Amino acid sequence: MFEKIKAFVIHNLKWIILFGCLIGFLALAEDVFRQEIMNGDIIGYQIISKFLISDFATPIAKVITNFGGAFVLLALTVLLFIFIKDKKVGMSIAVNLGLITGLNLLLKQIVQRPRPIEYRIIDEVGYSFPSGHSMVSMAFYGFIIYLIYRYVTNKHLKWSAIAVLSILIIAIGVSRIYLGVHYTSDVLAGFLISISYLIIYVSAVDKFVLKEETK
């Protein structure tokens, strides 16, 4: 019985992760509808402000957060499209950025949570939930991680690049809390819904776009 359950979990792991992340996102969204600021939001900022905020770290956070901004992501998309020989891969990167950006804007219009105003280090406009930088970065760099895993054969280069991009995704999310433009729940929700989206997108790209490619 245990072996059957284990085999089922392994075979359906990505879908279990998808639904787990989706449930987590919906739970956070429900809490946001019920209460504008949650205890976790306050605790998250207190932890970051106590251990991270400094005159040294603030310029670094401002630089890191730009890697999740529209200008940098658009520039990277254009460069990747130009330099990647297989234009199907390049197009899949561009479509991914467009879809996740549209989804984020839609969710923000549905929830319409105001941004935090108490601790602003930078100015930002628009709604807060879910964090656009966190959500789009997870989808964009997460898809790049998938492509690196699929196509890069040098193991040292592959895992080094995956580690750097994974750290960058987390750092972008933390920077949004650090800079006072998002609550902790905004960032976490952005990550969760983006993981769910990314599983669907990667599965679709694998099946319909890169189906003839070999790993």
User: Does residue 147 belong to any structural domain of this protein?
Assistant: yes
pLDDT digits (tens, 9 = 90+) for 21-63: 999 999 999 888 887 677 778 787 777 776 677 788 889 999 9
User: Does residue 214 belong to any structural domain of this protein?
Assistant: no
User: Does residue 160 belong to any structural domain of this protein?
Assistant: yes
Prediction pTM value: 0.90
User: Does residue 180 belong to any structural domain of this protein?
Assistant: yes
Rounded Cα gap, residues 184 and 112, in angstroms: 16
List Cβ neighbours of 19 (8 Å cut-off, separation of 6 or more): 196
Picking from 193, 177, 176, 211, the residue whose alpha carbon sits closest to that of residue 92 is 211
| Count of the separate structural domains present in the chain | 1
User: Does residue 215 belong to any structural domain of this protein?
Assistant: no
Retrieve residue 82's tokens: 């130009």
Question: 10 Å Cβ neighbour count for 145?
Answer: 20
Q: Sign (positive/negative) of CA torsion 100, 205, 207, 209?
A: positive
DSSP tag of 179: T
Residue 215 has a pLDDT of 45
CA angle 86, 145, 27 (to 5 degrees): 125
User: Does residue 98 belong to any structural domain of this protein?
Assistant: yes
User: Does residue 213 belong to any structural domain of this protein?
Assistant: no
Question: 10 Å Cβ neighbour count for 65?
Answer: 24
Question: How many helices and strands in the chain, by DSSP H and E?
Answer: 9, 0
pLDDT digits (tens, 9 = 90+) for 116-136: 887 777 888 889 999 999 999
Using only C-alpha atoms, what is the Rg of the chain? 18
Domain that holds residue 178: 2-208
